[in-house]
Amino acid sequence: MNKEDFDTTIAALGRAKIPSPLRTRAQGAGSGCFVSEKDRVLVNISEDYVIKSIKRGKKPLSFELGGPRGKIFFDPTKLRCAVVSCGGLCPGVNDVLRAIVLALYYNYGLRNIYGIRYGLQGFISSYGHEVTELTPEFVAHIHERGGTILGSSRGHQDIESIVDSLERMNVGLLFAIGGDGTMVASARIAEKIKKRGLKIGVIGIPKTIDNDIYLVDRSFGFETAVSIAVDVIGGAHNESISAPNGIGLVKVMGRYSGFIAAAATLAMPDVNFVLIPESDFELEGPEGLLETLKERLVRRKHAVIVLAEGAGQKFFADREEERDASGNIRLHDIGVFLKDTIKAYFKDQGMEADLKYIDPSYTIRSASANANDHLLCGFLARGAVHAGMAGKTKMLVGLCNNQIVHIPMEASIGKRKHVDTSGDMWMSVLETTGQPFLKN
């Protein structure tokens, strides 16, 4: 989809008529703390793009600016909210949960906030998961630990049953924290709510450690992942230089996008080869990985390789495809494959090579967020609360040009952001590592 080919209008449950309680907390700032519905954030801020758009008679693509509105849709004294986290773990989920609860409780005066246990399973009565009452006391210290205090799960659940549950609980506003599958489910929940004529808002806070959310500059958890990966790469480098022909091989997350591998390499420029899903590579041949790696060892006696988990999946073309409970393709383990392949190659060459393989994936995804992700989680959560209280629905909050914006779910779900292999980031990786293009 071309970034100019979709509608950025945000759906609403109705007209916002209730004066925001934030007016009384503005410390004399009047309406200065509120955001107008006319405030927009340009997606492409280059002057050339803006001028060309105007000349074509088109408005430059922009998103609605996030933030508190002067009028809200829901009466805080009568509203019940629910929060659910789904999918795999990611640093910062607890931060988002905590910030949502504190914003609802202290900024808007809500007292009925419920946590849905173990993802969308929590809406289905047959699973028997109890609902958790979320209070400031309950969430006070959860940001200090990784994981999610509500638990999570994968897998499809019946949308009709989820909406039935929301009705039975008398929930007026649902906050969903999760990846693309969760956002797809959230969009379907919002559609079913609309068909039933209900006034229930659905706000998504997108979660992916891979930083591959379409139209979003940076997702929470990404900077924490890069920070931990940098430490791991440093350890791999120390291992490699401490042995004759030492090789440090590090696998990081990145199913379809290699942002973690690329960013960690730029932050720790001791890496010699970076393998990501967006940049194809070969093993054999004079410019393939194996011979290039051999040349590196002959010349420098050590090497560090960083690969994203989704790289090199073509080498498993003859194997049967498997899927997880959510329908995602189970990737084959490129790390173990590459470790075994490299060892076998140097054995056949009669050349000594000491390879250390490190896979820190579960350590990274279950870690608590670092300072920058703490900040981003708070901004996203408060942005989600402000949008929800204003009656907006079927949207997600995200960072665009350093501003929190509202993005229609239809514009982002089912798509991914990728490393541009002709862009500055990847060119910088190639310059930093000095690696060739690794093709036959």
Point out the residues that are catalytic: 210
* Helix, strand, coil abundance in the chain, percent, nearest 5: 40, 15, 45
Q: Given phi > 0 = left and psi -120 to 50 = alpha, else beta, which region is 243?
A: beta
Q: Which positions ≥6 away from 312 have C-beta within 8 Å?
A: 275, 281, 334, 337, 338
Q: Give CA–CA dist 144/21, Å, rounded.
A: 30
Other C-beta atoms within 10 Å of 299: how many? Answer: 8
In degrees and rounded to multiples of 5, residue 173 shows phi and psi of -150, 125
Pairing of strands 71-72, 62-65: unpaired
Q: Give CA–CA dist 134/406, Å, rounded.
A: 25
The length of the chain is 440
Tokens 């022909």 found at: 245
Output the CA torsion sign for 214, 208, 116, 21.
Answer: negative
Q: Work out the angle at residue 24's Cα, subtended by the Cα atoms of residues 21 and 25, and round it to the nearest 5 degrees.
A: 95
Tokens 């891979």 found at: 210
Q: Given phi > 0 = left and psi -120 to 50 = alpha, else beta, which region is 434?
A: left
Tokens 């290039």 found at: 292
- On the CB side of 396, CA atoms within 13 Å amount to 28
Pairing of strands 354-358, 11-12: unpaired
Closest among 83, 80, 140, 137 to 112, alpha carbons compared: 80
In degrees and rounded to multiples of 5, residue 251 shows phi and psi of -105, 130
- On the CB side of 115, CA atoms within 13 Å amount to 23
